[in-house]
């Protein structure tokens, strides 16, 4: 299990490996707020059940994040680790309190991925 905590001005941001995310977070919490930042096409090909899609390449990305509750806990997933890290920085600057960057691309997820029509 690997979790790295980083204290920010308003909360904590962590890096969690995919195995810990699957075996600890998803198995022990009823509701997990997962933000999948891939394109809608990639999201529809397969995503973690219950995740929401906020495309980081969408010009309204920050506006969509701005509508989220800053006091909730969020987990960021993608197929690009650099974009996850950048999203984490953006959310920190927007004063989100608990943002977790899943260190591992979506293809490393061993659970069933849901496909959208």
Choose which CATH entry (3.40.250.10, 3.40.50.300, 3.90.1150.10, 3.60.60.10) describes domain 3-109: 3.40.250.10
Is the predicted pLDDT of residue 3 greater than 50, yes or no? no
pLDDT per position as a tens digit, 36-78: 999 999 999 999 999 999 999 999 999 999 999 999 999 999 9
Is the predicted pLDDT of residue 11 greater than 60, yes or no? no
Identify the pLDDT of residue 5: 46
DSSP H helices in 1-117: 18-20, 26-28, 40-45, 61-66, 81-93
HSE-CB for 91 with a 13 A CA cutoff: 32
Domain ranges of the chain: 3-109
More confident of the two residues 112 and 47: 47
């Amino acid at each position: 299990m690997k979790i790295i905590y980083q204290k920010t001005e308003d909360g904590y941001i962590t890096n969690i490996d995919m195995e810990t995310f699957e075996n600890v977070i998803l198995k022990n919490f009823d509701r997990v707020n997962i933000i999948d930042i891939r394109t809608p096409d990639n999201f529809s090909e397969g995503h973690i059940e219950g995740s929401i899609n906020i495309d980081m390449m969408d010009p309204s990305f920050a506006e969509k994040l701005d509508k989220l509750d800053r006091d909730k806990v969020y987990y960021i997933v993608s197929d690009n680790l650099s974009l996850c890290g950048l999203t984490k920085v953006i959310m920190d600057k927007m004063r989100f309190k608990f943002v977790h960057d899943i260190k591992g691309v979506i293809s490393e997820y061993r659970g069933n991925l849901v496909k959208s029509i």
